[in-house]
Amino acid sequence: MMMGGPGGPGRLLNQETQKPKRVGATLARFWHYFRPWWYAVALTVVLIVVATTLQVATAPVIGQAIDCYLAPNATACWYDPAAVALDISARLAGLGGLVLLLVVLFTAGSLLQGLAFFSMNWAGQRALRQIREDTFAQIHRLSLGFYARNEAGNIMSRITSDTDTIQQVLGFALLSVVSGVLQLVITGALMLQTNLPYALLSLSVLPLMALATFYFSSQARKAFRRSRREMGSVNAGLQESIAGVREVQAFNREDESIEQFRRANAANRDANVRAASFTSALNPVLEALGYVAIAIVVVVGGLSALRNQPLLGTAVISLGTVFAFIQYVQRFNQPIQQIAVLWTNIQSAIAGGERIFGLLDEVPDLVDRPDAYPLPPISGRVAFEGVWAEYKPGEPVLKGIDFSVEPGQTVAIVGPTGAGKTTIVNLIPRFYDVSAGRVTIDGHDVRAVTAASLRSQIGVVLQDTFLFADTVMNNIRYGRLDASDAEVVAAAQLALAHTFIERLPDGYQTRLGERGGGLSQGQRQLIAIARAALANPRILILDEATSSVDTRTERLIQQAFDTLLEGRTSFVIAHRLSTIRSADQVLMVRDGQIVERGTHQELLAVRGAYYELYMSQFRREEEPLAA
């Protein structure tokens, strides 16, 4: 089904391509992009496991330092049981050895963790590059209807702002979460192995931590989703304001434009503040619960060690084991707080990922059939056979269009605004599909051939010319990238653009501003015509291609057109008489139907709809064109 486009309904702005997916599904999509560099991810996991193990292992070493050398306890000292009976100097020497071991463990763990972060960043940047490339390729595959429904700024926000958010997570947060989870598992296992009753006692606050994390992170995820949408609106408004700055200033609407941007920016601010409030509130809640767990260990374990008697049904515990458990609890609570805080930040990346993957999952309105074949070189015979077209179901724009054009003929399509003229020519390169009937070129249904092979043999010159921020030479060469400089100059001469190009500061190497800034509308149109001439298409579509130039320039361009159109099938939508009088066929379109057809003189003789249009619009052009 076709959706909005030129001549169609207005754009449906600011709509999401699809509803947010589950977090797990989005994370699985991220892993898809990491898969080519699985070895770097595997190395990262190995490094982080070893690093975490080394760092967690410092807790029992500290406990043994206390039980063996600082507060000797024969039953608790398994590292060096004989140390209990040693004198103070011997104990200090043994203590020095454990301190050195602690330094080695801390240093080795930190170095391995640094290598793990480098490895993860290496893989993450490559995954991110592939995401950007896939997204950029996707926006070139999407049909024109998609761009009629979505603002350019919102689409740009997905490629820039959303991917930047993902980059921050892939570079640091994701690995920190993985490291934290491993630290939780290893620390928990050591706690349970060291003393099961005290491990269960110190972990008693874990359910409260889990509930707090679930609540705050879920609220933050919703807020971040809204933030990503609002950021898209901000970018869309910014892009539209920059593109339309001339109209804003011409109609003195600066204050209104600023106010619209202020409202969009305020909505984005509110969404970010709400997300930040949940993110910032989580850490102190978890930190407080962590201190509660430490207090339980200190009170119960400390009293048990000092009194040398069990408390609350637990076994007697040594002072070194109490200190070790304090380290365990700190190392257990630290990753919980880190994971919780980073997880709420990851929500922003997940929200951005949902928007990007939503764009990647967008199915183009028009795709090549599985059995589509390349269109062979054509002569240019075009036929419309009972063609109906619609932008919305039940609201046809074209109604049973039938006509045929022989190779080399020129067809002029005229009619009032909204009659369906642009829709007719858009069906030829298959920018949109018919809803009934078919369009054929040399007998090939345009839906049966590949779009690339079809469009490579069709040239289009539009009223709204688009030039790139590049040199004049490269803008013309865009019609055929392998063209030589001499061929580019020849095409410019054919389009009567050579003279004014030579007068530019750097000639053909003059770099243009955005959308051809620095040139007049007529000059931009001449370069677009030169671009089409260089492409050397068999079928040429001119959609009001001379409407933006003055009468004198139009006469010169018409001379160029006589050469350019020779031997080519051409379709001309024009509001100027000069491009109509010499056409082989004139199609008078009204309300989506061809109401009259014939040559210019034949239709004037009929004195019908074309004659009325001629009398009201074209006749006044005869005298200046004939002068």
Nearest Cα neighbor of 434 from 395, 405, 381, 398 is 398
Using alpha carbons only, what angle is made at residue 445 by residues 440 and 451, rounded to the nearest 5 degrees?
A: 105
Is the model's pTM score more than 0.85?
no
Whether residues 352 and 490 share a domain: the answer is no
Domain boundary among 318, 342, 360: 360
Q: Residue 518 is part of a domain; what is its CATH number?
A: 3.40.50.300
pLDDT digit string (tens) for 428-485? 988 888 889 999 999 899 999 998 888 888 888 776 677 777 788 888 888 778 888 8
**45-49, 77-81, 244-248, 514-518, range with the lowest pLDDT:** 244-248
| Token pair listed for 307 | 């009194």
| Alpha carbon distance, N-terminus to C-terminus of the chain | 48
Rounded distance, CA 271 to CA 264, Å? 11
Q: Which residues of 568-603 are buried (b: 16+ CB within 10 A; e: fewer)?
A: bbbbbbbbbbbbbbebebbbbbbebbbebbbbbeeb
Rounded distance, CA 510 to CA 214, Å? 59
Q: How many domains does the chain have?
A: 2
pLDDT digit string (tens) for 531-582? 888 888 888 888 765 555 566 666 666 666 666 677 788 888 876 655 677 7
Mean pLDDT rounded to a whole number for the chain: 76
What DSSP state is assigned to residue 541? Answer: E
Q: Residue 147 is part of a domain; what is its CATH number?
A: 1.20.1560.10
Q: Which residues of 507-542 are buried (b: 16+ CB within 10 A; e: fewer)?
A: ebeeebeeebeebeebbbbbbbbbbbbbbbbbbbbb
- The residue behind tokens 């020849």 is 490
Q: Per the domain annotation, does 236 fall within a domain?
A: yes
pLDDT digit string (tens) for 20-47? 346 677 777 777 888 888 888 888 888 8
Q: Cα dist. 406→381, 409, 412, 537 in Å?
A: 5, 6, 14, 15
| Token pair listed for 614 | 């001629």
Top-confidence residue, 486 or 289: 486
Rounded distance, CA 336 to CA 181, Å? 8
What DSSP state is assigned to residue 170? Answer: I
Rounded distance, CA 485 to CA 604, Å? 45
| Token pair listed for 186 | 């290893």
Q: Per the domain annotation, does 336 fall within a domain?
A: yes
pLDDT value of residue 477 = 86
Domain boundary among 514, 536, 558: 536
Q: Per the domain annotation, does 401 fall within a domain?
A: no
Whether residues 356 and 480 share a domain: the answer is no
Structural domain including 58 reads: 23-360
Domain boundary among 334, 360, 386: 360
Q: Per the domain annotation, does 498 fall within a domain?
A: yes
Q: Which residue type sits at 506? A: D
pLDDT value of residue 383 = 92
Rounded distance, CA 344 to CA 276, Å? 9
Q: Which stretch of DSSP H or E encloses residue 404?
A: strand 395-405
Q: Which residues of 458-477 are buried (b: 16+ CB within 10 A; e: fewer)?
A: bbbbbbebebeeebbbbbbb
* DSSP character string of 569-618: EEEEE-SSGGGTTT-SEEEEEETTEEEEEE-HHHHHHHTSHHHHHIIIII
Q: Per the domain annotation, does 74 fall within a domain?
A: yes
Rounded distance, CA 306 to CA 161, Å? 58
